[in-house]
Amino acid sequence: TGLVTLDPGFVNTAACESDITYIDGDAGILRYRGYPIEELAGKSNFIEVSYLLIYGELPSQQQYDAFAERIRKHTLLHEDLKQFFDGFPRDAHPMPVLSSAVSALSTFYQDSLNPFDKEQVELSTVRLLAKLPTIAAYAYKKSVGQPFLYPDNSLGLVENFHRMTFGFPAEPYEVDPVMTKALDLLFILHADHEQNCSTSTVRMVGSSEANLFASISAGINALFGPLHGGANSAVLEMLEGIRANGGDVDTFVERVKNKEPGVKLMGFGHRVYKNYDPRAAIIKKTADEVLGKLGANDPLLDIALRLEEKALSDDYFVERKLYPNVDFYTGLIYKAMGFPTKFFTVLFALGRLPGWIAHWREMLEDPARKISRPRQVYTGYPERSYLEIGKR
Ligand code: CMC
């Protein structure tokens, strides 16, 4: 106990060894299982990347087809789980709805409670990958008062999610390739990021041998916060605030530099990247393309570009090595796709899911696994005597 070191926020403490994701924050490098994110973004798809993260290798055609088919067969939600969405206020934030529904999966699939039953872990993995998009789409439908759509299993995962979110039961659905390709790409870019707050949460909860659904539900709650996944919504709110003030980015940057309470440049800065976030670089390229193709001429894009340019040339940001992170441009794309601001973090969760699952499985298979139980440095009172209430 004499050797306990204090490291708030785990800035210098590794909690585990991992084979999954490599980040070099100074060089702006991100690789999943050794493959550069740029290559995966250009050539792969979200199902394949999910397989890669979870099983460690790119699948053969046969493995890919079997994996995709298995996911396709599990997209339906239990009819009783659909009642669940009626239990929340209509204007509920979709993130707690998502985490609650995922938590509830362990009540519907009680066979999943043993994390050491390999077959059940495979089944829970597939169930989660298949059902989270359906849960997310239903959370959206509930919030806008529209009817739920059953999954259409002739469609791929992303197309199905898109249809269940924006489609109507009586209308034929036409796949919009620009939209679904962009969503697929964004999911790939979010799929893993080693020991971030939500992934560490999933590992920590799982280290007590809690089941996969319980652990992922905890991860979704960790992602909700504005310093983590909630930043994508916060960026859009920030840009809208600047627009409402006449689009003046200089004044906003001054407020950030003066550290006005609650004023941060959202979508900037990262614990690990001290260089341009490689995901943000890919997204920035995509933003222009997607916004162009969707015909969305959003004045907020101009504000974002000016804000980035201003910050990148300002000493405050240069000295602290603050660069745009993954969340800086995503909100603009999601908005152009028709998603409400509150829903952006749900899209982050859909993308991050395979990473959470891969880490949970790696953690359980690690021979050095121990329950996560950090130490502390006690700073409270030394021993003192209890006083009767009348004498205090
Ligand atoms: N705006 C203004 N100042 C900032 C920002 C920012 N976005 N980020 C960091 N700083 C300052 C911070 O005030 C500190 O200054 P000083 O040394 O004068 O006290 C210095 O830069 C170092 O920052 P830190 O807070 O010690 O860094 P951290 O590693 O603890 O925090 C972070 C990382 C991502 C929480 C933080 O940069 C932040 O709050 N960014 C805004 C929220 C955001 O965009 N989050 C998404 C992160 S990427 C996706 C994800 O993981 O979800």
Closest CA to 157 of 125, 133, 190: 133
Catalytic residue from among 162, 192, 327, 359: 327
ipTM above 0.95, yes or no: yes
Structure tokens given for 373: 């139980």
Sequential DSSP letters for 335-382: HHHT--GGGHHHHHHHHHHHHHHHHHHHHHH-TT-----------S--
Pick the atom of ligand 1 nearest to 264's CA.
1
Q: Judge if the beta carbon of residue 231 lies within 6 A of ligand 1.
A: yes
Which tokens belong to 356?
A: 């959470």
Confirm whether 228 is a catalytic residue.
no
Q: Is the CB of 252 under 6 A from ligand 1?
A: no
Classify residue 62 as exposed, middle or buried by CB count within 10 Å of its CB (0-12, 13-18, 19+): exposed
Integer distance in angstroms from the first to the last C-alpha of the chain?
34
- Distance (Å, whole) CA 375 – CA 129: 34
Residues of the chain with pLDDT under 70: 1-2, 295-296
pLDDT score of 175:
84
Beta carbon of 27 within 6 Å of any ligand 1 atom: no
Give pLDDT, residue 295. 66
Answer whether 267 contacts ligand 1 (Cβ < 6 A). yes
Residue to mutate, 189, 264, 344, ligand 1, most ligand atoms under 8 Å from C-beta: 264
Domain residue extents for the chain = 231-337
Separation of CA 99 and ligand 1 centre (Å): 26
Q: What is the pTM of this model?
A: 0.95
Which amino acid is it at 296? Answer: A
CB atoms within 10 A of CB 201: 22
> Crossing angle for the helix pair 118-144 and 61-72, nearest 10 degrees?
50
CB 125 within 8 A of CB 357: yes
Q: What per-residue confidence (pLDDT) applies to 387?
A: 97
Domain 231-337: give its CATH superfamily. Answer: Cytochrome P450-Terp, domain 2 (1.10.230.10)
pLDDT at 286: 81
Distance 361 CA to ligand 1 centre (A): 30
Would you list the DSSP string of 289-347?
Answer: HHHHHTT---HHHHHHHHHHHHHHTSHHHHHTT--B-THHHHHHHHHHHT--GGGHHHH
Residues 118-170 pLDDT 10s: 999 999 999 999 999 999 999 999 999 999 999 999 999 999 999 999 999 88
Question: Which pLDDT does position 367 carry in this prediction?
Answer: 94
